[in-house]
Structure 1
Amino acid sequence: MPAPDNTTVFVLNGPSLNLLGTREPEIYGHDTLDDIAGRLEDRARELDLNIDMRQSNHEGHLVDWLHEAQAYDARAVILNAGAFTHTSIALHDAIKAIRTPVIEVHLSNPHAREEFRHTSFVGRAARGTIAGFGALSYALALEAAAQF
């Protein structure tokens, strides 16, 4: 892939999202992260955008990638931080520290789940949040990113 630029949308995924498709499909659906990436890449081409899709189970990688998105002048970041959503001040601070708009994404609706999921440190710093639409949440976020 060429160096990211203002046509690039980083799609960052946190812990255990590499297990999509098999991890609690009654909550997260049957789509794998590769399935989601394929559909996003197709739609991105239609929007004259590029996708840089990444996943890590390590919080520091996500922080570094947020910084990288700004350094490369990416158009936006779509971030599904997984469980870090509810625990990571580091991600909150990294989002606040960059000028690149960040869209928080969740497959499920955290507010319809356990109470500990109702607090989002990511959401407090993000431009907006899209949640509860399964894999479609990513596509909706990409549509929003195209408008920046």
Structure 2
Amino acid sequence: MSALSYLLVDGHSVMHAWPELKRDQRSASRRHLARLELMKRLRTYQDMTGKQVVLVFDGTHSQRSEEREPEGLQVIYAEATTTADAIIERLASRYARQHPMQVVSADGMVRETILACGADWTSPEMLKSMCEDAERRLGDEISKRR
């Protein structure tokens, strides 16, 4: 069993659940701002917890794409014919028994599938609380060093 643990996040599910992201998500010209804010908050969470965060978005392009920041987030954009749900379920099915894995999604079917695969489920609202806690801890660390 590897010590590396994962947090898989359905990006659109979270952006629709968090009011401060939902406002920007509704506007095509501002949608990227919601995505950037979510990524920023997840980076802080990853830095403060040591979990590898994998952020998955539904895609609009003909093929799947993936971005990985050095020491940072892994972001997967599904191809247009696949959903983020399908990618998350596939990852949980393949890796949840080898690595501790937590999945964030508002979709009940995804929850049932990933639980059957051995992953843990978390709501978008709980993720917000987890991010706020990580941000608070980071602020405390910065204050201590001053």
TM-score range, shorter chain: 0.3 to 0.5
Higher helix share: 2
Higher strand share: 2
